[in-house]
Every structure is written in C-alpha cells, then in structure tokens.
C-alpha cells in the first residue's frame, strides 16, 4: 500500500508542535544561576539533586555544587516568589512569608519552582522560630516535610542545617548531631567543615568539652584555601576559646579570642556576635563581670541583627547587671528579651 501524503492540517499541527517545543526551550534558557562567587550563569537548569545542579547553555554544560550557589531565578517564577526569595535571603523573613504564603503551588509551571517556594517558606518560618518569634517544632516539621518531598533539591543540605539549628535551640542535642552530621556528606568542602563546626558547638552546648575540642581542633589544623573555609576556621577558634574557658583555661581562651577581636571585620555580623559572646563567656569564667558585660553589650548594641547571639547576650546581661549593682539595667534587658524573643529558651 502506498503511503498517503500528509494533509495540510497534519503539517500545520506538526509545525505548531515544533514551535511550542522551541518556545519552551527558549524559555528554559532564561534561568539565572547566581554562584557565591563570580557572575550569573544564564541557561537551562536541566538537572537538580542534593549534590548540586546542571546548567545547559546550547551544547555546553556547567555543573555547580550545592553549597556554591547563592540563588536561582527560574523562568516562570511568579513575582511573589521573586520578592519572597529576596526577602528571605536578606533576612526579612516576615516580609518573605507575606509574599510566599500567597502562592498557589498547583499553579506553578515547574517542579523546581514549587520546591524553591516550599524551601523559602520553611526557611523563613524556621528563622523566625529561631529568633523566638515562632513555634520551633512546627518549623522543624515544615523543613523536614520539604526535605522528604524534595530529596532532589539543591537545598537539601541547607534544610538539614536548619533542622539541626532548631534541634540545638530546643536542647535536643541527639537530633542536632544527626542533622549536622548529615552535612559531612555534602559535596562542597565548606559545608563539610560546617558539619564539624556545628558538631563541636553542639557538644559545647551539652558541656561535653572534650568532644567539642576534638571537633574544633579538626578545623584548626586545616590548611584552608577559600574565604568560606577560613571564616569557619575563625568561628572554630571562637568555639575553642569558649571551651577553654569552660575547662578552667580562661587565660588561654582569652589569648585566642583577643586575636579574633583584633582581626575580625565588623561587617561580618555573625562572626562579630559570636566572638563577642565568646569573649563575654571567658571574662565571666575569669570572674571579670564588668569585662563580660562590656563584651555582651557589644553584641547587644552593635550586632543585634544576629538574633540567636543577641538573645544569648541579652539573657547574660539579665544575669550580670545585678552583680554590678544595676538591677534596672537587668530589668530593661529582660523586657527587651521578652519583647523581641518571646520564645527564647523554649
């Protein structure tokens, strides 16, 4: 039997299908990936998993590791996600949730966009909870729900870190160690170092000083070759200094922390807040109450945007001001602690 030629209708349908495929391909080429360093990469995010992403640009393929990506703007993002994502990355989490909570997930055109929406919602909910302005258990459940649903997301290890933070804040050191330990399987070296650092901080919170020192020492002996790794090494020094103070070696701890105070940049708010809180703990261990108050005041007055460290500094000021005959200052610190971090310690 001889083949019949395509009808004009069939040809038109095939041409339309081809145009639609080509149009979809053009749209996919408009994803923008922003690494932690360097310029944005424009292309099609062709694959994502816990290890990272694959970006295709014509015949070229670029692989980026999770932990080396700041953000991705996907073709098809609703404006509420674009705004909410930026608010979340900027630490404006209440504003982020106002945008993100209004997004209908079923209306989103791509799974990666749904995953990004759910991650930033859970992330902002968690950051508010960690600051004492939300339910920590509910936030942990939301982030675990995201991780379970989107195991192929490049946010997977970020999610593990946040759940570890919430567990540590709740005093659940067993779960904190489990989730921080998961970071050791991340592909980016700074994230692996972060796993060791937070494991040490968890042991420190549990007053297991020997275990904490073991973890901090693993970082201190490293030959670091990146800004991120060097920063974690400095944070480990602050942790080690606090551990020394808790093991009756306050003078050694003070020597270590003094070098960090001299070299740190005040623009790194997290670093500064943790260093000054460590300095406060060391002075307190030495019996220098005025020195401890001054250190915690640095965190309170200059680095209050680092909510977890700020809450700790305020709680310490509540304890220390009466010891120098200033109960009114203690009352002021207590009022601010209750107002800004109503869930602190719970």
What pLDDT, in 10s, does the model give residues 131-174? 888 999 999 999 999 999 999 999 999 999 999 999 999 999 99
> Hey, how many other C-beta atoms are within 10 angstroms of the C-beta on 316?
22
Q: How far apart are CA 109 and CA 165, in angstroms?
A: 32
Binned at pLDDT 50, 70 and 90, residue 345 comes out as low
Task: Identify whether the C-beta of residue 146 lies closer than 8 Å to the C-beta of residue 140.
Answer: no
Express as a percent the part of the chain with pLDDT over 90: 79
Decide: residue 155, CB within 10 A, 0-12 exposed, 13-18 middle, 19+ buried. buried
pLDDT of 28 over the 80 cut: no
Q: Quote the CA–CA distance of 75 and 249 in Å, as a whole number.
A: 56
| Residue whose C-alpha is closest to residue 203's, from 176, 167, 237 | 176
CATH class of the domain comprising 28-172: mainly alpha
Contact 179, 167 (CB under 8 A): yes
Cα distances (Å, whole numbers) of residue 86 to 91, 160, 313, 334: 9, 21, 28, 33
pLDDT tens profile 234-285: 999 999 999 999 998 999 999 999 989 988 887 899 999 999 999 999 999 9
The SS3 of residue 122 is helix
What pLDDT, on a 0 to 100 scale, did the predictor assign at position 8?
A: 43
Binned at pLDDT 50, 70 and 90, residue 119 comes out as very high
In the chain, where the domains are located: 28-172
d(Cα 246, Cα 244) in Å, to the nearest integer?
Answer: 5
- Its pTM stands at 0.85
> Which segment, 80-89, 219-228, 249-258, 301-310, is predicted with the most confidence on average?
80-89
Segment 196-216 shows an average pLDDT of: 96
Residues 311, 117: Cα–Cα separation, whole Å: 29
């Amino acid at each position: 039997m001889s083949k019949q030629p395509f009808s004009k209708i069939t040809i038109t349908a095939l041409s339309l299908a081809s145009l639609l495929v080509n149009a979809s391909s053009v749209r996919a080429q408009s994803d923008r990936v922003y690494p932690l360093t360097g310029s944005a990469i424009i292309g099609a995010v062709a694959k994502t998993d816990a290890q990272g992403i694959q970006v295709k640009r014509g015949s070229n393929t670029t692989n980026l590791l999770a932990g080396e990506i700041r953000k991705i703007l996907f073709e098809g993002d609703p404006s509420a996600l674009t705004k909410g994502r930026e608010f979340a990355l900027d630490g404006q989490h209440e504003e982020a949730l106002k945008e993100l909570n209004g997004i209908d997930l079923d209306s989103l055109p791509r799974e990666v966009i749904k995953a990004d929406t759910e991650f930033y919602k859970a992330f902002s909910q968690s950051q508010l909870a960690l600051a004492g302005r939300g339910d920590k258990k509910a936030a942990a459940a939301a982030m675990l729900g995201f991780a379970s649903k989107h195991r192929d997301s490049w946010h997977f290890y970020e999610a593990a870190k946040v759940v570890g933070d919430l567990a540590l804040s709740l005093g659940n050191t067993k779960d904190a160690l489990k989730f921080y330990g998961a970071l050791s399987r991340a592909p980016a070296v700074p994230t692996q170092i972060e796993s060791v650092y937070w494991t040490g901080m968890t042991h420190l919170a549990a007053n297991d000083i020997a275990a904490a020192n073991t973890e901090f020492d693993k970082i201190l002996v490293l030959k670091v070759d990146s800004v991120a790794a060097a920063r974690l090494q400095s944070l480990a020094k602050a942790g080690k200094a606090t551990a020394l103070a808790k093991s009756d070696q306050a003078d050694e701890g003070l020597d270590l922390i003094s070098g960090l105070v001299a070299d740190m940049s005040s623009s790194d708010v997290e670093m500064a807040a943790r260093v000054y809180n460590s300095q406060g703990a060391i002075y307190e261990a030495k019996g220098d109450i005025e020195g401890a108050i001054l250190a915690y005041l640095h965190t309170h007055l200059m680095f209050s945007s680092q909510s977890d460290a700020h809450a700790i500094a305020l709680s310490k000021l509540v304890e220390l001001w009466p010891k120098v005959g200033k109960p009114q200052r203690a009352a002021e610190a207590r009022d601010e602690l209750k107002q800004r971090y109503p869930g602190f310690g719970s």
